Amino acid sequence: MAAQRRKIQSDACSILLIVLLVSVLVQQYAFDALFSQYSVEFVCFLGLSLVHILNKRRQKKISEKLDKEEDEI
């Protein structure tokens, strides 16, 4: 159950990252907008990317720890 929830949250996070990136690119290149007009989306994209990376690293460490414990048993 928890693994399924994490998968759904990861997928939602990935979709949100893609939407934010597309929004920034469209505003920057298609609309030739000033940075101040899309800075919020850009900051959200960077912040969410950092959170996503940190969560992946944390999950990897937990998985490695569990594998190590299983090997010891």
Provide the pLDDT for residue 73.
67
The distance of Cα 51 from the centroid of its chain, to the nearest Å, equals 6
Query: Per-block average pLDDT, block size 10, for the chain (73 residues)?
Result: 78 92 96 95 95 88 83 72
Is 34 strand, coil or helix?
A: coil
The residues, ordered by sequence, that sit 6+ positions from 48 with a Cβ below 8 Å of its Cβ are 13, 16, 17, 20
Q: Summarize pLDDT for 17-30 with one digit per residue, the tens.
A: 999 999 999 999 99
Give the range of the structural domain holding residue 16, as residue numbers without chain letter.
2-72
Contact (CB, 8 A) for 47 and 65 = no
Number of domain units in the chain = 1
- The answer to whether 11 touches 22, Cβ cutoff 8 Å, is no
Please give the pLDDT value at position 43: 96
